[in-house]
Amino acid sequence: MSTNVLFDAPGPRGKLRNAVLTVLSVVVLAAAVYYVYARFDAKGQWDGQIWKPFLDASTWTEYIIPGLLGTLKAAGLGAICALIFGAVFGLARLSDHRWLRVVAGAIVETFRAIPLLLLIFFLFYLAPSVFGGGDYSLVALVAGLTLYNGSVLAEVVRAGIRAVPPGQAEAAQAIGLRKSQVMRLVLLPQGVTAMMPAIVSQLVVLLKDTALGYIIAYVDLLNMGFKLIPAVYFGSLIPAAIVIGVIYVGLNMSLSALANWLERRTRRSHRTAVQPIIPPGGVGEPEATGAGVV
C-alpha cells in the first residue's frame, strides 16, 4: 500500500469524525443555498419576466457577446504584454550587471506596490494630456494589466529559474556553452515547467482584473452585462449579475483547463524516448572488459 507523507491515515474514529463533518458541511451549505434562494424568491427574483431578456437573442448579440469580445481582447493583449514584460524583467533581475539588476528590481517592486485600480486611473487620465484627446480606455486597461501582472510574473520567472538546481548550469558551462545558451537551452525549458502553475494562476487573475475596466467605461463583459442590460430591462440586475458571473467562471475554468493541457504536453515533450542501456552482463554488474570500468 502506498503511504502519504503529508498526513497519517485516519483510523476508525477519524473516519467517523470526517464523515460526520462532511455531512454537517453539506447540510450547512444546502441551508445557505436554500436561504439565498428563498430570499431571492421573496423579492421576485426568480420570476420568468425578469429572466426573459436572457432568452432573447438580441440581448446576447447586442450586449453580452460584444462585451465578452471586449473582455477577451483586453485579456489577450494584457496577457501577451504581461508575459513579455515578466520575461524581460525577470531575466534582467538575474543579470550579472548590478546596474541592470537594480533598475529592473526598482521597476518591478514599484509596479507591484501600486494598486491596479489606481494605476489604471492614472494612465487613463494621463494619456489625454500626453497624446491628446481620444478614447484611451483600452490602452489604459491593457497598460495597467501589463505593468501590474507583468511585475508579478517577473518574480515568477526569477523564482522559476532559481528553482533549477545550480548543477544544471554548471554542467552546461563545463561543456562550453555560453551564458545565453545555458539560459535558453537548459534553464528556461526546465524553469517554464516549474513556473506553469503560477503563470496560469496569474493569468486567471489578469482575466478577472479586466472587470476593472468598468470604472473607466471600457466596453467589457461587466459593463455591457451589468450596467446596460439592467438599464434597458428594468429589474434584471440580479439575473444579469448571475449570468455574467457564470460566464466569468466558465472563462476562468477554460483557461485553467487549457493551461493544464499545455503543462501535460510540455512534461511529455521533455521525456526522453531513449531506452535505458542494458549492460552486457544483464541487469547485474557489467562484464569485465580489458578497458576496465571508467
Predicted confidence at residue 269, as pLDDT, reads: 60
**What proportion of the chain, given as a percentage, has pLDDT over 90?**
26
Phi, psi of 203 (to 5 degrees): -70, -35
DSSP for residue 63: I
Predicted confidence at residue 219, as pLDDT, reads: 87
Q: Look at 105 and 256; give whichever has higher pLDDT.
A: 105
C-alpha–C-alpha distance, residues 189 and 274, integer Å: 19
Mean of pLDDT values over 247-262? 84
Range of the domain at 190: 55-269
Mean of pLDDT values over 94-100? 86
Whether 287 is in a domain gets the answer no
89 contacts 181 by C-beta, under 8 angstroms: no
Of 122, 123, 185, 194, nearest in space to 161 by CA: 194
Please tell me the pTM assigned to this model.
0.74
C-alpha–C-alpha distance, residues 294 and 289, integer Å: 11
127 contacts 144 by C-beta, under 8 angstroms: no
Domain count, the chain: 1
Whether 241 is in a domain gets the answer yes
Mean of pLDDT values over 165-185? 76
Lowest-pLDDT choice from 49-53, 121-125, 160-164, 232-236: 232-236
Strands (E), 49-94: none
Whether 235 is in a domain gets the answer yes
Whether 162 is in a domain gets the answer yes
Whether 178 is in a domain gets the answer yes
Span 24-41, pLDDT tens digits: 999 999 999 999 889 888
C-alpha–C-alpha distance, residues 190 and 160, integer Å: 8
Predicted confidence at residue 231, as pLDDT, reads: 67
CATH number for position 171:
1.10.3720.10
Whether 64 is in a domain gets the answer yes
C-alpha–C-alpha distance, residues 251 and 258, integer Å: 11
Whether 41 is in a domain gets the answer no
Whether 14 is in a domain gets the answer no
Burial class (CB in 10 A: 0-12, 13-18, 19+), 203: buried
